[in-house]
Amino acid sequence: MGGLDDLYQELILDHYRRKRGEGRLDDPTVAVDQNNPLCGDEIHLELGIEEGRIARLAHTGEGCSISQASASMMSEALTGRSIEEALAVVEHFRLMMHGKEPADEERLGDAIALEGVAKYPVRIKCALLGWMAAKDAIQTYQGNGNGGG
């Protein structure tokens, strides 16, 4: 299938087939659900936050290769980060998806492979789903009296 090589890179398909961070936590600090009403993709994301850091992260969901691979890459990119750093990485990823910032591999890790998705406007939402869930989870956590940090 010529022409789609940047969309369906081997790294993306690898994350799709072997999702990192998939599952549930025993005692999540915060859990959120996000879905894409246009296509029905869903993610359930749980964070275990310790001393202002994302110590653990787990996700389950259903969706296309892009949304699922992206959630897998997101779990690697955000685990271990402080919640402020994580929010900044999410924002960087969002801007990259909209073609407004060049991808920073140090912050994104494997998720840099998703840069090509920006060329397929209808798939950007797929790629963003997990990351928006992460932002929602962190902001929910902050809104529960854990703000600022």
| DSSP single-letter state for residue 37 | T
Q: Which stretch binds another protein (CB under 8 A): 23-31, 50-58, 65-73, 103-111?
A: 65-73
Q: Given candidates 42, 76, 84, 85, which one binds another protein under the rule CB under 8 A?
A: 42
Q: Given candidates 11, 60, 65, 107, which one binds another protein under the rule CB under 8 A?
A: 65
Token code pair at residue 45: 């994301």
Work out whether 63 is an interface residue with another protein (CB under 8 A): yes
Work out whether 25 is an interface residue with another protein (CB under 8 A): no
Give the sign of the dihedral formed by CA 141, CA 143, CA 148, CA 149.
negative
**Pick 41 or 110: Cβ nearer another protein:** 41
Work out whether 60 is an interface residue with another protein (CB under 8 A): no
Could you tell me the strand order of the sheet in which 42-50 lies? Answer: 30-35, 42-50, 53-62
* Beta bridge mates, 118: none
Q: Given candidates 30, 32, 57, 66, which one binds another protein under the rule CB under 8 A?
A: 66
Token code pair at residue 111: 């998720």
The continuous run of DSSP H or E covering 11 comes out as helix 10-17
**Pick 122 or 145: Cβ nearer another protein:** 122
